[in-house]
Amino acid sequence: MDYIMTSEAIKWNFSSYTDNKGRTYIISYYNRWDPVKKQSRVAKRIHVGRLNSDTGEVSLSKSFLEANPNYVGEHVFYECNALVIRTEADAETIKQEAQKDLDWRCDCVSFGLTYACWEVAKKSGILFNLKSVFGEEIGTELLRLAIYQLCSHSMAMQNYEDWLAMNYLPEASPLSSQKISTILAKVNQENIDQYFKLRHERVTKDHLKKEEEAKKQNLQLSPMMMAIDSTSISTWSETIDNATYGHAKQDDFLKQV
């Protein structure tokens, strides 16, 4: 076999085609300059394997694996005109996603803002801390609902299902109003305090790490600042005589909400 893909001298390209029975296959090829016709021509084309159109995974052909043993035993997917090796966990997640009933989802889904929010929550430890306090399922759903509130400009929770049909959240499924109420009922002052304690510990740990790195490079790091908002809303009524309008911190005797 003379088409080993690790050769740096040859740039292999990938493409797909579908036969008249609806089966999709992946091929690989490379071009060479034809000095006579003065154009780039396909020099060699090989069969890579059959594509699972639902998951994107490729069942590699025997001849391809013999020539490219580095792919043996790997989960290989066809993404953006390239072969991508995924971990077993990622491959399983992709397969589970493909098996889900997504009839409730619109054909066109907004992706950018919700994806960015989700990734920030993961990388900053917010999702991890929510799961630590509320458990895997409730913690994840609370983050989804929080992103919904942020990206929908505080729409009512009863509209979450309609919004989710048009916006991407990883592994999310529609929730009924009753289910959302059950999730929110799990939130109390005790676990709120526990969550913010974990967030404080995370921020402090990250800052100390940055300080150590700055010292090694003889750099000056700005001190860590913490802002606490204690804004309150005074009671207000047009019918109750002893309840009057007040701004935050105005009239200490007024009840606060």
pLDDT digits (tens, 9 = 90+) for 87-113: 999 999 888 877 776 778 888 899 899
Please give the model's pTM, rounded to 2 decimal places: 0.57
For residue 46, the cross-strand partners are 28
Q: How far is CA 101 from CA 141, 171, 174, 199, in A?
A: 19, 11, 11, 36
The DSSP symbol for 22 reads S
Contact 251, 243 (CB under 8 A): no
Region of poorest pLDDT, from 57-61, 175-179, 224-228: 224-228
Residue 206, token pair as written in the block? 């990250």
pLDDT at 151 over 80: yes
What pLDDT, on a 0 to 100 scale, did the predictor assign at position 2?
42
Confidence grade of residue 253 (pLDDT, cut at 50, 70, 90) = low
Instruction: Average the pLDDT over each of 28-32, 73-77, 208-212, 236-240 and give the range with the smallest value.
Output: 236-240
What's the pLDDT band for 199 if we cut at 50, 70, 90? very high
